[in-house]
Amino acid sequence: MRDSVTIVGASLAGLRAAETLRRDGFGGRISLIGEEPHQPYDRPPLSKQVLAGDWEPERALLTPAEKLEPLGIDLRLGVRATGLDVAARQLEVDGVAEPFDGLLIATGARCRILPGTEGLAGVHTLRTLDDCLAIRAALDAGADRMVVIGAGFIGAEVASVAVGRGASVTLVEALPAPFARLLGREMGAVVADVHVANGVDLRCGVGVSSVVGGPGAMTVAMADGSDVDADLVVVGIGVVPNTGWLEGSGLTLDDGVVCDATCLAGPNVVAAGDVARWTDPRTGESMRVEHWDNAVEQGRHAVRRLLATDEEAEVYAPVPWFWSDQYDRKIQLAGRPHPDDEVRVVDGSTDEHRFAAFYGRRGQLTAVLGMNRPRQVMQGRGLLEQGAGWDDALAVAAGWG
């Protein structure tokens, strides 16, 4: 039995794990270390309600103070883990070594920077509350021409909020098909169509060659020789896991902290959330999932793994699920489609931007996508959990009509 658990990363995965420990009856010390000075908050509203100005930041807190306080968690905010030695069971916090008993790594990810834009005022990324408030302040100050670089989900949500606030938005994507990395070409095009229908100037298959100027007067030059003027630029070209502090720790790092199928990264160390990489026992694939639901589920799983013996340890085999709110559409995806999977619309219609679609490969259902179809996606997720075959899944969907 462990006396204490140290958690690095005081955000979604870390906090939910700490709460789970207490609810499971763990009476030992829980130390939750986070670099950001703010009380732990939720990120999805940063590209939705908070950015839109509909919510003040306090509403995005993960757990209200009065619920957190009785749990007796030692919350150490504004403090950074700077190193780890797994063999010596020592953590280094702001340069000072301290021993740990059991450790959960939940340091998440940070935004990738577009080369050439480092430190350029007027160019934003969106990961933290401070990032969100900076973009919101620019919009409040009257910025009404926005360029979003990267047609991923965060960029798409920022575009949709900016359109909702009356800005004109240009969405630039270097790849020929937007949203294709996650959804494949065909369904990516449907999401792109929603943006075009809402007045976004979508430019695909063309890279950005430079960004110059400053707030209120920026020019984004494209590889095809065209220019777009903007008051502000938001870059959403993906994230990189925060593993720099783990160099030389003894853990295996490979685009994330590499764990076994139970979330164990090394002796007495587990990892969860955006930073964790593990082998999915369902498919044998190496996975790192950057979704909200996974951070919660994996945080809970990993911290329980930390308290379990090797014999008790259970594999972590979730069906990934995420949602994204864009304009008045709710997009949800369960499972992991491959770019060349067969796609079949099983309910509603893509033209109306209301539908559910199945992805399949080799006779198996691999994913379910919904636009304003939450119940179907959740039922589809159940089918994925059961490992449903393609024909059986279609038979279930036939009853949805």
Ligand X SMILES: Cc1cc2nc3c(=O)[nH]c(=O)nc-3n(C[C@H](O)[C@H](O)[C@H](O)COP(=O)(O)OP(=O)(O)OC[C@H]3O[C@@H](n4cnc5c(N)ncnc54)[C@H](O)[C@@H]3O)c2cc1C
Structure tokens at 308: 């379990």
Pair 346, 192: CB distance under 8 Å: no
Q: Does position 292 bind another protein by CB under 8 A?
A: yes
Pair 255, 271: CB distance under 8 Å: no
SS3 134: helix
Question: 107 touches which of ligand X, another protein, none (CB within 5 to 8 A by kind)?
Answer: ligand X
Q: Does position 44 bind another protein by CB under 8 A?
A: yes
Q: Does position 293 bind another protein by CB under 8 A?
A: yes
Residues in the chain: 401
Residue range at the interface with ligand X (CB under 6 A); choices 277-285, 322-330, 333-341, 352-360: 322-330
Question: 154 touches which of ligand X, another protein, none (CB within 5 to 8 A by kind)?
Answer: ligand X
Question: 19 touches which of another protein, ligand X, none (CB within 5 to 8 A by kind)?
Answer: another protein
Question: 39 touches which of another protein, ligand X, none (CB within 5 to 8 A by kind)?
Answer: none
Provide the minimum distance between the beta carbon of 19 and another protein in the complex, in angstroms, as a whole number.
7
Q: Which of 240, 378, 394, 396 binds another protein (CB under 8 A)?
A: 378
Closest CA to 359 of 326, 384, 379, 323: 384
Phi-psi region of 350 (alpha: psi -120 to 50; beta: other; left: phi over 0): alpha
Residue range at the interface with another protein (CB under 8 A); choices 170-178, 201-209, 282-290, 296-304: 296-304
Provide the minimum distance between the beta carbon of 390 and ligand X in the complex, in angstroms, as a whole number.
26
Task: Report the b/e string of 124-137 with b at 16+ CB within 10 A.
Answer: bbbbbbebbeebbe
Pair 196, 159: CB distance under 8 Å: no
- DSSP codes, 263-282: SEEETTEEE-GGGEEEE-TT
Q: Does position 265 bind ligand X by CB under 6 A?
A: no
Instruction: Give the span between the Cα atoms of 159 and 195, in whole angstroms.
Output: 8
Residue range at the interface with ligand X (CB under 6 A); choices 101-109, 117-125, 302-310, 341-349: 101-109
Among positions 354-373, residues that touch another protein (CB under 8 A) are none
Pair 152, 179: CB distance under 8 Å: yes
Q: Which of 20, 82, 90, 268 binds another protein (CB under 8 A)?
A: 20
Within 10 A of 166 (CB to CB), how many other CB atoms are there? 8
Instruction: Give the span between the Cα atoms of 236 and 104, in whole angstroms.
Output: 28
Q: Does position 382 bind another protein by CB under 8 A?
A: yes
Can you give the binding site for another protein, defined by CB under 8 A? 16, 19-20, 23, 42, 44, 292-293, 296-297, 300, 323, 330, 332, 374-375, 377-378, 381-382
Can you give the binding site for ligand X, defined by CB under 6 A? 8-14, 33-36, 43-44, 46-47, 80-81, 106-109, 126-127, 154, 242, 245, 273-275, 290-293, 295, 322-324
